[in-house]
Amino acid sequence: MAKAKVRWTDSRTFIGVDSTDHSVVMSSKDDKIGMKPSDLLLISLGACSSYDVVGILEKKKVKLEKLEVQITAEQESDAPWMFTDIHLKFILAGDGLDAKNVEKAIELSEGKYCSVAATLKGNAKITTDFVIEEKR
């Protein structure tokens, strides 16, 4: 069973603690102390998928030097401002990277392994693309 907790500190600021006692500060855009919870959801999606992609590519003997995910999203204009479209752009660099392996790793993450993507898919359309950067 997954466990986490959120504790209110003051104003619109909260501290979230995960099951391994790591914490994150969250606040409203007006308080400017921590992350907006809705942005944290997008970051969670990017991190979950990145975790999978790194693991899949490691099994293919790829030596990653860089993996960054840029996430953009559209939200409904009225409350509860649900995400409707989310796009993840993977930017990778390393030895042994080829488009076919990267595409397959992203596909496996989004379609099979990433629990955050699986949770969001019922409400939001998730799309992906990627860029393989040349070594410097």
Go through the domains of the chain in sequence order and give each one's CATH number: 1-35 (2.20.25), 37-132 (3.30.300.20)
Res. 136: pLDDT tops 70: no
Dump pLDDT digits (tens) for 68-126: 999 999 999 999 999 999 999 999 999 989 999 999 999 999 999 999 999 999 899 99
Task: Specify the 3-state DSSP secondary structure of 36.
Answer: coil
Residues contacting residue 9 through CB under 8 Å, at least 6 positions apart: 15
C-alpha to C-alpha distance for 46 and 102, rounded to whole angstroms:
15
Would you state the pLDDT for residue 134?
85
